[in-house]
Amino acid sequence: MENQQLSSQQSDIASSKEDDQEKAIDELIASLPISKGLVRPVHSLYQNFWYPTPLLPNVIAFRRHFEAKDKDILLVSQPKSGTTWLKALVFSIVNRSRFDTSNTPLLTSNPHEVVPFIEHKLWPDLDGLAEPRLLATHIPYPALPESVQPSDCRIIYICRNPLDTVISSWHFLLERARPENQPEWSLEEHFEAFCQGEILFGPFWDHITGYWKESLERPRKVLFLKYEDLKEDIVGQLKKVAEFVGFPFTEEEEEGGVIEEIAKMCSLKTLKGLEVNKSGKLPHTITEKRSFFRKGEVGDWVNHLTPSMVDRLNSIMQEKFSPLGLRFKTR
């Protein structure tokens, strides 16, 4: 009886502590600067990066409570940099002894359902994931949980040249904005917000340089990929990824065309053509699954950006990336 009383008192204390923590997080979020533009949802500036405000409680919970396991693989990107593609590819590499192109879950689920975003996920769900846990996030490097550093978990970062990313993200916002009946978000407004850093998980520049620097210092921890390199040499890039995550392709697999099969299964053409990706929304979101698949080209910006916009992005790249030896192909 006494024990029962004690444990109910303890759980009362635990839940009142949780309530206090939630309240403190709510107060913290309410105190943050918010974005001035039309970007939906509202963004808050938390530790120098812009987060969609509704996701911040999850981001903070991830940072505080996530216990990285040595076998974890974190797929990181900024929105519209190749996230969907990377999820499909790494899932296929890591699970190729269980699934091939005839039975892969990618045939019946969108890559975002197959590899969850941590910031969209509630905590207990992560525990049920099979090892190695494949997790994705748009969270910038300085905001990753402390447990990531000392563990042996791996980070694969994908980025894309800013000229194409700004166009891809603008199309995505237009697509998402439609059902909400909100005013059109012009390219000029979006471009300005992008340059100023006021975009989902931005500033774009600082997000990239955070992971770039870490990949130079700890190449076994962070593999830094570029969308343009995957477009140019998918086989070479997949071999690199497979080795990095500890699932290298055997000679037999290489000769048997396994890498090419994975590349084909995860290509834009294949994924875009699957019924599962043609209609419907991602669970618990307003996001249409088809909005993740558009043109997938390097150089689509030539159809949208003015010469002065191109000059501006080139000069920011010159300032932010060139001193660090980071270059992008743009066509």
37-46 contacts, C-beta under 8 A, 24 or more apart? 37/189, 37/193, 37/198, 38/182, 38/183, 38/185, 38/189, 39/173, 39/185, 39/193, 39/198, 39/199, 39/200, 40/173, 40/176, 40/177, 40/180, 40/182, 43/198, 43/199, 43/200, 46/143
**Does 296 participate in binding ligand PAP (rule CB under 6 A)?**
yes
**Does 137 participate in binding ligand PAP (rule CB under 6 A)?**
no
**Does 171 participate in binding ligand PAP (rule CB under 6 A)?**
yes
Instruction: Tell me the residue ranges of DSSP E strands in 69-214.
Output: 73-77, 134-137, 154-159
**Does 147 participate in binding ligand PAP (rule CB under 6 A)?**
no
Total number of residues that touch ligand PAP (CB under 6 A):
21
Which position among 95, 168, 209, 237 is part of the footprint of ligand PAP (CB under 6 A)?
Answer: 168
For residue 138, indicate whether it is catalytic. yes
Task: Provide the minimum distance between the beta carbon of 8 and ligand PAP in the complex, in angstroms, as a whole number.
Answer: 44
Distance CA 306, CA 312 (A): 10
Residues 297-316, mask of contacts with ligand PAP (x by CB under 6 A): ---x----------------
Which position among 43, 80, 121, 154 is part of the footprint of ligand PAP (CB under 6 A)?
Answer: 80
Residue in 43, 65, 112, 138 annotated catalytic? 138
For 186, list phi and psi in degrees, rounded to 5: -70, 155
Cβ pair 211, 224 in contact under 8 A: yes
Contacts of 13 (CB under 8 A, 6+ apart): none
**Does 92 participate in binding ligand PAP (rule CB under 6 A)?**
no
**Does 174 participate in binding ligand PAP (rule CB under 6 A)?**
no
Tell me which stretch binds ligand PAP (CB under 6 A): 61-69, 94-102, 163-171, 235-243.
Answer: 163-171
Cβ pair 86, 75 in contact under 8 A: yes
Tell me which stretch binds ligand PAP (CB under 6 A): 7-15, 82-90, 309-317, 323-331.
Answer: 82-90
| Positions in the binding site for ligand PAP (CB under 6 A) | 77, 79-85, 164, 168, 171, 266-268, 271, 292-296, 300
